[in-house]
């Protein structure tokens, strides 16, 4: 990865990662909710 | 045979259809001009005003007024207000059509509309708030489509698919609220980058919070407004549940709108204090700001409250119309009136009639689509073969 | 102290290793970004500009822009205030400040090539890039044409080809980036006959500007425009007339564009992480309330049923007892009657 010289580069780099994490979170949270409540009786 | 067809022609030539037809023809003419001679032939956009009516009305107002979908589905499915269940489908439908039309209108405004997927697939500019808006609007349009699809599937008789989608209701509702929170607020945050261009009274570090809060006011008011219009024009399509729920819904949503307006009023005043902008209130722009704050926030909060206390649905209905107008005023103020406020009058923007024509055209397409759907699909009534969800 | 452009450029090579001057943009966590070391800049000395429009002409030919209506040697153009357009990346404006001598002042306007460009921060397809050499360049191959860059730019620089139906581009000064890569000067700098424009390393130009201000305090105001404005720019200005009087805004602030939006952007992942927790929580609470209400209702119904049943049992028992008593009494009565009848018969027989 090239060195970060500017705030713009820093924000681009961090936001890129954050957006990927957001997508992962949106997929993982419902799955964990299902696991969490899987044995609840209706 | 001939008599029958002339009778059906007469039935189709209602004043509404004639006017809608004329608007659609004008809209198509302007569309051709836009895509053959460029924006300068149909708009008054300039290098000083790169965003005009199509952004202020079609995007900012359009998205705010389509907030009824997430507000209603959150109230019913998350906050457990099951008595408003009858309002969910019409609100989702209005939201879906609203967002679809926002995206349609954007195709006129941007230079190369076929590149609209570029931010996601070619070059991701993640530092931009517009990236956030674009991602959320694209995703939320999909969510609304899926949320709306059970009605279409019931109409088409796709029972299995319909029951599968209904199982996703909770997840879709929560995702819808997340996406709406994000892009409703980000539409305001778009202006955070231009503190030197927006009038200080409208520029605020809280502007994204203001946009989000006003979107819930817009959503609640639009459900009331659109509900009473549907009640007037499509009464024959409504079942007993919809007819019975109407007054209860207006009282409940009216009460919520009054309360949110009160909170919004408080944070707006705090915003003036936070930037020490009191002295601007004594200027011409300050007077206009006070018109917005007192006339379109405080006033509807009060009239909504009176309507709720008196159980007077007429007052509530007019409060909803006024609150919706207030949202329009606010978005126009931020995007057009307060933007480049220091420029001399001759350099300021005023929309070209063809810009207005496209905006009216887009709204008309929405009305036609709404009518087409509610007269065919189970929106204002529950389908007898299916359990409600 | 007048420095010829060539001599100055000669210095630049020698001064390459000069220490960096303090300039920095910060992220929220106090990380500091100092920009590209050794990036190039232009110093515009407003006091030296004579309004000849030679820079405009050079810009026009270097960038192959369309010929303007009035030729570049027609100075009547200066009578109206202009801004950059899709056909003119740079314009010279004439000002007549209210100062005593009322001497005319000329100011060149073009992209200031911010260290932290607002256009780059605003662009959702990364069409703008701050190059290590200094220029901020635009890539038309990804541009969608949303014009958010034009909203964002505090200097009102990017212009748009509104007359093009299907392939409009955003147009702005490139600081002649292609020429810089070839080792040439920007077109406007090369054409300037008065050295009102000087090209060099940004750090060195700031020193040159300071030197001029210190050497001629009566000629210059003590403010290098662009040193800090909007986080600093690669186009620097010195002036003898207040910037506000020559069409340059002094109220832009020193905050880099990216910092203005970082707060709102940082809220995005928080909403994504916490809204599901909050909303599912509210949902679960409501569901539990409903469940408890349903259980309570069922229990109440059960209790009511039991009570009714118990009452019914008591009633039944009482009824049975009563019936039995009545039965016993009836038998008793019948027995007595039979005995009486038998006694009477006996009496009748004995008579």
Instruction: Tell whether C280 lies on the interface with A, counting CB pairs under 8 A.
Output: yes
pLDDT for position B8 = 62
Q: Which of A33-42, B15-24, B41-50 has the lowest mean pLDDT?
A: A33-42
Q: How far apart are CA A28 and CA A20, in angstroms?
A: 12
Region for C187 from its dihedrals, namely left if φ exceeds 0, alpha if ψ lies in -120 to 50, beta otherwise: alpha
Closest CA to B16 of B370, B347, B264: B370
Chain B hits for A12, CB-CB cut-off 8 Å, are 125-127
Rg (CA), chain B: 22
**Confidence band for A29, pLDDT divided at 50, 70 and 90:** very high
Give the pLDDT score at C99: 60
CA-to-CA distance for B189 and B132, rounded, in angstroms? 10
Supply the pLDDT for residue C103: 81
Q: What are residue B47's phi and psi, to 5 degrees? A: -65, -25
Lowest mean pLDDT among B41-50, B170-179, B239-248, C24-33: C24-33
For residue C28, the model assigns a pLDDT of: 56
pLDDT for the residue B239: 79
pTM, rounded to two decimals = 0.88
Q: Inform me whether the C-beta atom of residue B121 falls under 8 Å from chain C C-beta atoms.
A: no
Interchain proximity A16–B175, CB inside 8 Å: no
Residue of A19, A23, A29, A37 to mutate, interface with B, max B Cβ within 10 Å: A19
C137 and A CB contact within 8 Å: no
Q: What is the pLDDT of residue C211?
A: 95
C134 in A contact zone (CB under 8 Å)? no
Q: What was the pLDDT predicted at B387? A: 73
- Residue with the two structure tokens 């305001």: B188
Q: At what angle do helices B88-109 and B129-156 cross, to 10 degrees?
A: 130
- Write out the two tokens for B273: 């204090």
First to last CA, chain C: 175
**Number of residues that make up chain A:** 42
Angstrom distance (rounded) from CA C302 to CA B273: 60
Q: What is the mean pLDDT of residues C89-116?
A: 88
- Rounded percentage of chain B residues whose pLDDT exceeds 70: 97
The confidence score (pLDDT) of residue B245 equals: 79
Residue B388 has pLDDT above 90, yes or no: no
Of B126, B175, B178, the CB nearest to A15: B126
Q: What is the pLDDT of residue C101?
A: 62
Tell me, what's the ipTM? Answer: 0.90
Predicted pLDDT at C13: 43
Under the banding of pLDDT at 50, 70 and 90, the label for residue C43 is very high
With a cut of 80, say whether residue B384 has pLDDT above it: no
Residues within 8 A of C (CB atoms), B 228-257 only = none
The beta strands (E) that lie in chain B are given as: none
pLDDT the model gives residue B312 = 93
Q: What gap in Å lies between CA B67 and CA B253, rounded to an integer?
A: 13
DSSP state string for A11-39: HHHHHHHHHHHHHHHHHHHHHHHHHHTTT
Q: How large is the C-alpha radius of gyration of chain A?
A: 18
- How large is the average pLDDT for residues B281-309? 96
Confidence bin at C2 (pLDDT 50/70/90): very low
Core vs surface per residue C95-133: b (16+ CB within 10 A) or e: bebeeeeeeebbbbbbbbbbbbbbbbbbbbbbbbbbbeb
pLDDT band with cut points at 50, 70 and 90 for residue B6: low
User: What is the structure's pLDDT at A40?
Assistant: 80
Q: What's the confidence (pLDDT) of residue B157?
A: 86
**pLDDT value for C55:** 95
Confidence of residue C34 (pLDDT cuts 50, 70, 90): confident
The stretch B98-104 carries a mean pLDDT of 95
Chain C nearest-CA distance from B327, in A, is 21
Residue C1 has pLDDT above 60, yes or no: no
Work out the mean pLDDT of chain C and round it to a whole number: 88
Give yes or no for a contact between C34 and C23, defined as CB atoms under 8 angstroms apart.
Answer: yes
Average pLDDT over residues B218-245: 85
Chain segment C332-351, per-residue pLDDT in tens? 888 898 888 888 888 777 66
pLDDT surpasses 50 at B145:
yes
Residues of B in contact with A18 (CB under 8 A): 126
- Predicted confidence band at B3 (pLDDT cuts at 50, 70, 90)? low
Q: What is the pLDDT of residue B158?
A: 87
Question: B68 falls in which pLDDT band (50, 70, 90)?
Answer: very high
Asked whether residue C102 carries a pLDDT value surpassing 70, the answer given is no
Q: Mapping DSSP to helix (H, G, I), strand (E, B) and coil, where does residue C109 land?
A: strand
Q: Give the distance, in angstroms, between the CA of residue B352 and the centroid of all CA atoms in the same chain.
A: 22
pLDDT at position A39 over 80: yes
- State yes or no: pLDDT of B1 exceeds 50: no
- Look-up: residue for tokens 């905006």? B359
Average pLDDT over residues B108-132: 95
Scanning every residue of chain A, which has its alpha carbon at the shortest distance from the alpha carbon of C37? Answer: A5
pLDDT in tens, B335-358: 999 999 999 988 999 999 999 999
Of A8, A26, A30, the CB nearest to B127: A8
B:308-337 residues touching chain A, CB 8 A cutoff:
none
Is B229 within 8 Å of B222 (Cβ atoms)?
Answer: no
Whole-number pLDDT of residue C12: 45
Mean pLDDT of chain B: 92
Convert the pLDDT of each residue in C152-190 to its tens digit: 999 999 999 999 999 999 999 999 999 999 999 999 999
Q: Read off the pLDDT of residues B71-89 as tens digits, 9 standing for 90 and up.
A: 999 999 999 888 888 889 9
The beta-carbon neighbor of C116 closest among A8, A15, A18 is A8
* Mean pLDDT value of segment C284-308: 91
pLDDT-wise least confident of B234-248, B341-355, C16-30, C298-312: C16-30
Contact yes or no for B307/B320 (Cβ under 8 A): no
Tell me the residues of chain C between 237 and 296 that have a Cβ less than 8 Å away from chain B: 249, 251-253, 257-258, 260-261, 263-265, 267-268, 271-272, 275-276, 279-280, 282-283, 286-287, 289-290
Does pLDDT of B232 surpass 90? no
Over residues C257-276, mean pLDDT: 93
**Residue found by looking up tokens 């019931």 in the block:** B154
């Amino acid at each position: 990865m090239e060195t970060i010289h500017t705030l713009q580069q820093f924000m681009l780099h961090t936001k890129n990662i954050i957006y990927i994490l957001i997508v992962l979170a949106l997929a993982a949270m419902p799955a964990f909710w299902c696991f969490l409540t899987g044995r609840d009786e209706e | 045979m001939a008599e029958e067809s002339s009778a059906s022609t007469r039935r189709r030539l209602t004043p509404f259809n004639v006017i809608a037809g004329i608007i659609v023809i004008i809209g198509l003419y302007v569309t051709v001009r836009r895509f053959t001679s460029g924006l300068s032939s149909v708009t008054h956009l300039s290098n000083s005003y790169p965003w005009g009516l199509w952004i202020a009305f079609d995007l900012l107002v359009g998205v705010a007024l389509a907030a009824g979908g997430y507000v209603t589905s959150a109230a019913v499915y998350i906050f457990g207000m099951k008595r408003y269940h009858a309002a969910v489908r019409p609100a989702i439908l209005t939201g879906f059509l609203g967002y679809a039309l926002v995206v349609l209108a954007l195709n006129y405004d941007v230079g190369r509309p076929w590149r609209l997927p570029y931010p996601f697939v070619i070059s991701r500019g993640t530092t931009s708030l517009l990236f956030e808006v674009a991602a959320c609007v694209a995703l939320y349009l999909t969510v609304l489509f899926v949320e709306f699809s059970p009605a279409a599937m019931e109409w088409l008789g796709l029972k299995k698919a319909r029951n599968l989608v209904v199982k996703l209701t909770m997840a879709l509702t929560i995702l819808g609220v997340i996406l709406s929170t994000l892009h409703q607020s980000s539409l305001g945050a778009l202006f955070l980058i231009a503190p030197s261009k927006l009038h200080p009274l409208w520029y605020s570090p809280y502007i994204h919070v203001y946009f989000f809060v006003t979107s819930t006011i817009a959503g609640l008011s639009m459900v009331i407004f659109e509900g009473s219009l549907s009640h007037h024009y499509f009464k024959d399509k409504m079942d007993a549940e919809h007819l019975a729920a109407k007054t209860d819904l207006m009282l409940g949503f009216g009460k919520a709108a009054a309360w949110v307006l009160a909170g919004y009023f408080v944070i707006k005043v705090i915003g003036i204090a936070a930037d020490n902008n009191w002295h601007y209130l004594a200027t011409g722009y300050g007077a206009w700001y006070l018109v917005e704050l007192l006339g379109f926030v405080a006033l509807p909060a009060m009239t909504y409250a009176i309507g709720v206390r008196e159980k007077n649905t007429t007052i509530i209905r007019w409060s909803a119309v006024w609150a919706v107008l207030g949202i329009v005023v606010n978005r126009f103020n931020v995007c057009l009136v307060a933007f480049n406020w220091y420029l001399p009058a001759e350099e300021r923007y005023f929309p070209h009639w063809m810009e207005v024509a496209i905006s009216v055209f887009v709204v008309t397409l929405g009305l036609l689509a709404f009518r087409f759907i509610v007269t065919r699909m189970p929106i204002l009534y529950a389908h007898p073969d299916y359990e409600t969800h | 102290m007048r420095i010829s452009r060539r001599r100055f450029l000669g210095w630049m090579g020698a001064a390459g290793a000069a220490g960096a001057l303090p300039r920095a943009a910060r992220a929220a966590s106090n990380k500091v970004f100092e920009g590209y070391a050794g990036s190039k800049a232009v110093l515009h000395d407003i006091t030296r500009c004579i309004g000849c429009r030679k820079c405009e002409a050079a810009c026009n030919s270097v960038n192959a822009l369309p010929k303007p209506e009035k030729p570049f040697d027609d100075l009547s153009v200066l009578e109206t205030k202009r801004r950059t357009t899709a056909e003119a990346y740079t314009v010279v404006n004439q000002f007549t400040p209210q100062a005593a001598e009322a001497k005319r002042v000329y100011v060149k306007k073009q992209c200031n090539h911010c260290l932290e460009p607002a256009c780059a921060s605003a662009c959702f397809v990364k069409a703008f890039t701050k190059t290590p050499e200094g220029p901020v360049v635009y890539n038309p191959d990804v541009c969608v044409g949303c014009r958010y860059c034009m909203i964002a730019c505090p200097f009102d620089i990017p212009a748009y080809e509104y007359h093009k139906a299907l392939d409009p581009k955003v147009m702005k000064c490139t600081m002649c980036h292609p020429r810089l890569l070839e080792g040439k000067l920007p077109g406007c700098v090369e054409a300037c006959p008065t050295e009102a424009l000087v090209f060099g390393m940004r750090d060195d130009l700031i020193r040159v500007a300071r030197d001029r201000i210190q050497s001629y305090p009566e000629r210059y105001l003590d403010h290098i425009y662009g040193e800090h404005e909007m986080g600093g720019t690669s186009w620097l200005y010195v002036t003898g007339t207040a910037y506000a009087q020559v069409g340059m805004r002094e109220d832009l602030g020193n905050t880099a564009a990216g910092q203005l939006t970082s707060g709102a952007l940082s809220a995005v992942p928080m909403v994504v992480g916490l809204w599901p927790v909050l909303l599912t929580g509210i949902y679960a609470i409501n569901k539990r309330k409903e469940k408890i209400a349903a259980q309570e209702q069922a229990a109440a119904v059960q209790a009511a049923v039991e009570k009714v049943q118990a009452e019914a049992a008591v009633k039944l028992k009482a009824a049975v007892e009563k019936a039995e008593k009545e039965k016993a009494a009836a038998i008793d009565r019948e027995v007595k009657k039979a005995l009486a009848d038998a006694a009477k018969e006996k009496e009748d027989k004995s008579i």
